[in-house]
Amino acid sequence: MRDIMGMMGKVKEMQAKMEQMQAEIAELTAEGKAGGGLVTVVISGKGELKSLKVDPSLFKEDDVEILEDLIVAAHKDAKDKAEALAAEKTKALTAGLPIPPGFKLPF
C-alpha cells in the first residue's frame, strides 16, 4: 500500500511539473524570418502569431504572391523554432520516462 501512495505522490509531482512546463512554453516566443529578413514573424510557444513585420519594398502590386509566400515561410520558421524550444524543455522533464519516439508533449 505504501508503494501506491508513493506512486500517487510522484504522479501529482509530475503533474505539477507538467503544468509549470506548459506555462513556461506558453511564455516562450520564437522569431522566424524569410526572404533574407524581408518578412519577420514572432509567435508564442503555443503558435499564436504575436507580430508581423514586412519590409516596405515588398508593397508592390506585382509582388503580392511573393509577399504571401514569405509570410507563410516566416511563420513556419518561427513555428519550427518554437517546437524545438518546447521539445528541449519537455526532454528535461521526461528524462528517464519510456515515451515512444515521435510522441509530443504537452498533449
With 80 as the cut, is the pLDDT of residue 8 above it?
A: no
**Rounded to whole angstroms, how far apart are CA atoms 30 and 72?**
15
pLDDT of residue 107: 44
The string of pLDDT tens digits covering residues 17-54 is 888 888 888 888 899 999 899 899 998 888 888 889 98
Q: What is the CATH number of the domain that holds 64?
A: 3.30.1310.10
Q: Is residue 49 part of a domain?
A: yes
Structural domains counted in the chain: 1
The string of pLDDT tens digits covering residues 85-104 is 888 877 777 665 555 556 65
Q: Residue 10, SS3?
A: helix
Considering only residues 8 and 39, tell me which one the structure prediction assigns the higher pLDDT.
39
pLDDT of residue 33: 92
Q: Is residue 105 part of a domain?
A: no
Q: Is residue 88 part of a domain?
A: yes
**Rounded to whole angstroms, how far apart are CA atoms 57 and 73?**
18
